[in-house]
Amino acid sequence: MGVSTSRPEPGVAVVTLDFPPVNALPVRGWADLAAAVTAAGRDAHVVVLRAEGRGFCAGVDIKEIQSAGHDALVGANHGCHAAFGAVYDCAVPVVAAVRGFCLGGGIGLVGNADVVVAAADATFGLPEVDRGALGAATHLARLVPQHLMRAMYYTAATVTAADLHHHGSVYRVVPPAELDATALKVAGEIAAKDTRIIRAAKAAINGIDPQDVHRSYRYEQGFTFELNLTGVADEVRGRFGEGGGS
């Protein structure tokens, strides 16, 4: 349980999330994920980000925030920022392998990945408005067109892996049983290239990105803090009750 790293093939590092029951990460989990992705990128040629369990990621651990208050909220915000940034800034490409649900913070991770491979059962969405928070619109906008992003954000609706494949943000959609093998195959194709060229390519592509993902995500979170300070977020989280993550 937690974050682990394996090396199944030369040049390939696999970082795995395992936080039962729904991969809703606590503050410590986001920090551990950031550290694992950054460390893997130092010597691997490519990093695969995957998850055990029922789904890829349900976001932050709402129960932790409800029990620990603003300290946990600030910690989760910093942790998410670090983990999303670690994926984006990883020195080598990151391939996200997504099964089941990918919600909230999961969108932050996948939206910052370089390549997304998804199981046919994967669904993607931001339930933040139903959880008393905002955030990761920055990253959802990297997966879907602008107006679809807005509709999904306001309604908390989800889309399928096939939908994202249609928009070009998911590279491959495969049966769930083939997800890990497909992600490793794509990773192997990247790892076989000269890593000096690939590392330069990653830096170059990030350098021409029209959106500063670090700044825009922090801007979004200013509104989350405002909602918490005014008590609105507590009301909404109270209605959310005992279920899942965000």
On average, the pLDDT of the chain sits at 94
Give percent of the chain above pLDDT 70.
96
Q: Which of 61, 56, 57, 37 is nearest to 48 (CA)?
A: 37
Q: Residue 246's pLDDT band (boundaries 50, 70, 90)?
A: very low
Could you report the per-residue pLDDT of 187-226, keeping only the tens digit for each?
999 999 999 999 999 999 999 999 999 999 999 999 988 9
User: In this predicted structure, what is the pLDDT of residue 63?
Assistant: 83
Is 44:10 a contact under the CB 8 Å cutoff? no
Distance CA 11, CA 8 (A): 9
Least confident span in 59-68, 90-99, 120-129, 172-181:
59-68
Q: Residue 70's pLDDT band (boundaries 50, 70, 90)?
A: confident
| Segments making up each domain of the chain, as ranges | 2-177+195-240
Helix (H) or strand (E) holding 217: helix 213-229
pLDDT at 153 over 50: yes
Burial 51-74 (b: 16+ CB within 10 A, else e): bebebbbbbbbbbbbbebeeebbb
Q: Which of 105, 39, 79, 155 is nearest to 96 (CA)?
A: 105
CB neighbourhood size of 146 (10 A): 8
List, in sequence order, every beta strand (DSSP E) within 87-169: 94-98, 101-103, 115-119, 123-125, 158-160
Residue range 105-129: mean pLDDT, rounded = 97
User: In this predicted structure, what is the pLDDT of residue 240?
Assistant: 63
More confident residue, 241 or 2: 2
CATH superfamily of 2-177+195-240: 2-enoyl-CoA Hydratase; Chain A, domain 1 (3.90.226.10)
User: In this predicted structure, what is the pLDDT of residue 168?
Assistant: 98
Is 93:202 a contact under the CB 8 Å cutoff? yes
pLDDT at 234 over 70: yes
Determine the 3-state secondary structure of 147 from DSSP.
Answer: helix
User: In this predicted structure, what is the pLDDT of residue 20?
Assistant: 96
What angle do the packed helices 232-240 and 213-229 form, to 10 degrees?
90
pLDDT at 24 over 50: yes
DSSP secondary structure of 39-81: HHHHH-SEEEEEE-SSSSB-EE-HHHHHHHTHHHHHHHHHHHH
Distance CA 80, CA 133 (A): 13
User: In this predicted structure, what is the pLDDT of residue 245?
Assistant: 43
User: In this predicted structure, what is the pLDDT of residue 19?
Assistant: 97
pLDDT at 138 over 50: yes
Residue 115 bridge partners (DSSP): 95
Give percent of the chain above pLDDT 90.
84
